[in-house]
Amino acid sequence: MILDNLDAAAADPILSLSVACRADDRAHKIDLGIGVYRDNQGNTPVMQAIKQAEARLLEEQSSKVYVGMPGNESFNAAMMDLLIGEGESKARAVGVQTPGASGALRMLADVIKLSAPDATVWLSDLSYANHAPIMKTAGLKVRYYAYFDTETKLVNSQAMLADMSQAGANDVVLLHGCCHNPTGADLSFEDWQAVTLLAQKQGFLPFIDIAYQGFGDGMDADVAGFRYLAERVDSYLVASSCSKNFGLYRERTGLAVIVGKSLEQSNKIKSRLLECARSTYTMPPDHGAALVDMILRDQALKQTWLDEVDAMRHRVQGLREQLAGALREKSGNPHFDFIAQHKGMFSVLGITPEQAQTLRQAHAIYLVDSGRINLAGMQEAHIDYIAEKLLLVTAM
Ligand code: LMR
């Protein structure tokens, strides 16, 4: 009978860690799992700019009536400005508000499936743990391009470009806009230039996932490579998130951007995305987008927000340097120096899943089995302990 055939789903490799860490009663536990920013006391406070916008919204909002299928159009436009800047492709860009960037990834995947049922989506090896499930659930094929060099812990550009040169007009190449999840190893500007040339030559569709704008080198610097590409290809897609840089995790605030060959084509594709959204969730939740819109359109609020993101970025960069320094000092070798070079919240440490499990079970340090740590989950007081246990389990 229907429903009798289902086995339980496997635990989510990231979300299950938060649950397990919460249930752990060891006082010295450290959660370096899910990509959430925490301050040096271990809290994720509501950002000041958000608090101020919320107070204003409470005063000003006069109705809770439906906003409309594409969500908040003013938010969509302001977010596209933040991403694309003044670039020429903005004239062909249309945005749709989505429930988080996962919602954007899925809706855009559904649209790809409608347009090209046999399309293959190429993901970086490694990539965000939810990329393959989203693409496969949408019915798309998934392949991987070489990305993370396990020796240098940086991008293996040559191998990456060699793999991408196999992708053609029926392929989509998914790129991380900045702050690569999970590895922390970002494309250089030269890499973006080379990928752009390949996209032009091979005709594949670039699909950019950007969830950490502002956490790498700065709000504009983080999209310099993406903007280079955006100005030089016929079409591209973007999934963008406000979870991290606005701290709006639970509000599920994201954006799907469609850029076709003409505005007319982009709008046609948008109408198909809205059709997919209608049969999935109808329309996105309003609150987070209303706040982001207010912040991006008010000079003082925007400055408060930019300053807060700068402070978060500097804290994480400082933690990177401190952890790399402690590891160098305790081990007497520079093996983990790459941690200071990585960008954004994450680094992949190059340890085995068994070593990651030992860190969890024996030392109450929670990290993803891929060896990914969330630097932004660390407190300064944790650094020596983490360095010591990491060297212990890796016998370095
Ligand atoms: C992460 O990678 O930890 C975050 O993006 C949270 C998520 O949804 O997986």
CA dist 344 and 304 (Å) reads 20
pLDDT, one tens digit per residue, over 135-147 is 999 999 999 999 9
What average pLDDT does the segment 57-74 reach? 97
35 lines ligand 1 (CB under 6 A): yes
Architecture of domain 66-297: 3-Layer(aba) Sandwich (3.40)
pLDDT > 70 fraction of the chain, expressed in percent and rounded = 100
pLDDT band at 149 (very low <50, low <70, confident <90, very high): very high
130 lines ligand 1 (CB under 6 A): yes
User: How far is ligand 1, taken at its centre, from the CA of residue 104, in Å?
Assistant: 14
Give, using CA atoms, the residue closest to atom 9 of ligand 1. 14
Quote the pLDDT of residue 194. 98
pLDDT band at 290 (very low <50, low <70, confident <90, very high): very high
pLDDT > 90 fraction of the chain, expressed in percent and rounded = 99
Quote the pLDDT of residue 339. 98
User: How far is ligand 1, taken at its centre, from the CA of residue 15, in Å?
Assistant: 8
User: How far is ligand 1, taken at its centre, from the CA of residue 331, in Å?
Assistant: 31
User: How far is ligand 1, taken at its centre, from the CA of residue 26, in Å?
Assistant: 24
Phi and psi of 74, rounded to 5°?
Answer: -70, -40
Does pLDDT of 396 surpass 90? Answer: no
290 near 141, Cβ under 8 Å?
no
The atom number, within ligand 1, closest to the CA of 243 reads 5
**Could you tell me the residue ranges of all domains in the chain?**
15-46+302-394, 66-297
Give, using CA atoms, the residue closest to atom 2 of ligand 1. 35
What average pLDDT does the segment 256-278 reach? 98
CATH topology for the 15-46+302-394 domain: Aspartate Aminotransferase, domain 1 (3.90.1150)
What average pLDDT does the segment 232-257 reach? 98
User: How far is ligand 1, taken at its centre, from the CA of residue 299, in Å?
Assistant: 30
Does pLDDT of 76 surpass 90? Answer: yes
Of the candidates 14, 22, 29, 13, which has an alpha carbon nearest to the alpha carbon of residue 363? 29
pLDDT band at 361 (very low <50, low <70, confident <90, very high): very high
pLDDT, one tens digit per residue, over 87-105 is 999 999 999 999 999 999 9
183 lines ligand 1 (CB under 6 A): no
CA dist 189 and 84 (Å) reads 16
Three-state SS annotation for the chain: CCCCCCCCCCCCCCHHHHHHHHHCCCCCCEECCCCCCCCCCCCCCCCHHHHHHHHHHHHHCCCCCCCCCCCCHHHHHHHHHHHHCCCHHHHHEEEEEECHHHHHHHHHHHHHHHHCCCCEEEEEECCCCCHHHHHHHCCCEEEEEECECCCCCCECHHHHHHHHCCCCCCEEEEEECCCCCCCCCCCCHHHHHHHHHHHHHHCCEEEEEECCCCCCCCCCHHHHHHHHHHCCCCCEEEEEECCCCCCCHHHCCEEEEEECCCHHHHHHHHHHHHHHHHCCCCCCCCHHHHHHHHHHCCHHHHHHHHHHHHHHHHHHHHHHHHHHHHHHHHHCCCCCCHHHHCCCCEEECCCCHHHHHHHHHHHCEECCCCCEEEHHHCCHHHHHHHHHHHHHHHCC
Mean pLDDT estimate for the chain: 97
Strands 141-146, 120-125: pairing is: parallel
367 lines ligand 1 (CB under 6 A): no
